[in-house]
Amino acid sequence: MKEKILITRPIFEDVVKYLEGYFEIELNRGPKYSADQLAEALRGKDAVLVAGGEKIDADLLTKVHDLKAVCVTAAGYNNIDVEALSRAGIVATNSPGPADETVADFAWGLMIAVARRLVEAEHWVKEGQWKASAGSRFFGTDVYGKTLGIIGMGRIGRAIARRAVGFRMRTLYHNRRQLEKELEQECKASFVSKEALLTESDFVILSLPFTKENRHIIAAEDLARMKPTAFLVNIARGGLIDEAALAAALQQNQIAGAGLDVFEQEPVIYPALMGLPNVVLCPHIAGATERAQHGLVMMGAENLVAALGHGPHAFDPPGILNPVVLKK
């Protein structure tokens, strides 16, 4: 008898067929589950492929007793409580890797968009206001030759840094630990304190996971350290920034601008950010290409297959977050 799994949102059909080779599948083709609906759908399931950011926490696990694996189709996994899953003996996995270069591309696009005021200029043109030369109206900031600061130097951070070489930028980074010398040389990046990075950088990009320790890693005092000509870009997770402090800094021209793809309460955006001309807001689309998304979903599926003891990586899923559970 096949094990039963839940897929929380519609995914690529070839991935569904791949999973059907191993399991009996329930696929949610309707609206996103509420917490109660998710608990009900998970009853009797051996595993779940979390494809829509659904929250799986300690409270939900009190209502679900058959789960053996929770597999996220994204690199970020702050929507699942790994500690609670580990206590319950449930394998947790994420999908790092497939979207790294895609997200790095987007980070650069967002940085250039806010520095060169592309969104403001586009709106001006579409509103029919271009009657003569724009003159100095949309003077922006050069990116070439400036100092780039990256907070979080994992795979995506390093991909961003490699692109900076072509822009002849000086690259600084801050990380939990310093990279090996070979990686630093590859990225042409220098390890510095967070304070030094904020003080010296013309562009600051956040590329680190969201954790309890990292919540509001950019707060009012951090924004105060930045140059008034500097820009802040976030393509990681919204809770990394104190959005009220950022809105105040942008309103007061304490920093020059911000590019944001993620928000603390998304899809709700902190209201004071909405009308500001010096911020570019995007709907969490840094990894939104078909190639990247297919890779993320397929990796999540392969993790699930392995977590339940099937396939070439049986009991050794590549995206394991709590290997202690497998050891038990």
Same domain, 207 and 140: yes
Residue 326: what pLDDT? 86
The count of structural domains within the chain is 2
Q: In whole angstroms, how far apart are CA 101 and each of 28, 74, 163, 202, 263?
A: 29, 14, 10, 22, 21
Return d(Cα 241, Cα 249) in angstroms, integer: 12
Same domain, 139 and 47: no
- pLDDT 10s digit of each residue in the chain, 328 long? 899 999 999 999 999 999 999 999 999 999 999 999 999 999 999 999 999 999 999 999 999 999 999 999 999 999 999 999 999 999 999 999 999 999 999 999 999 999 999 999 999 999 999 999 999 999 999 999 999 999 999 999 999 999 999 999 999 999 999 999 999 999 999 999 999 999 999 999 999 999 999 999 999 999 999 999 999 999 999 999 999 999 999 999 999 999 999 999 999 999 999 989 999 999 999 999 999 999 999 999 999 999 999 999 999 999 999 999 988 7
Q: Which residues pair with 257 in a beta bridge?
A: 231
Q: Give residue-wise pLDDT tens across range 22-51.
A: 999 999 999 999 999 999 999 999 999 999
* Whether 290 is catalytic: no
| Catalytic pick among 170, 284, 310, 313 | 284
Same domain, 126 and 273: yes
Determine contact, residues 274/284, Cβ cutoff 8 Å: no
Q: What is the CATH number of the domain that holds 318?
A: 3.40.50.720
Return d(Cα 263, Cα 310) in angstroms, integer: 37
Same domain, 177 and 125: yes
Q: Which residues pair with 47 in a beta bridge?
A: 5, 69
Same domain, 229 and 269: yes
Return d(Cα 79, Cα 236) in angstroms, integer: 14
Same domain, 164 and 256: yes
Same domain, 215 and 80: no
CA angle 87-215-233, nearest 5°?
A: 130
In the chain, the N- to C-terminal Cα span, in Å, equals 25
* Whether 87 is catalytic: no
Same domain, 108 and 89: no
Alpha-carbon 155 to chain mean position: 12
Q: Which of 176, 183, 140 is nearest to 158 (CA)?
A: 183
* Domain residue limits at 113: 100-281
| Catalytic pick among 3, 26, 120, 266 | 266
| Catalytic pick among 225, 237, 264, 302 | 237
Return d(Cα 296, Cα 319) in angstroms, integer: 11
Same domain, 85 and 105: no
* Whether 168 is catalytic: no
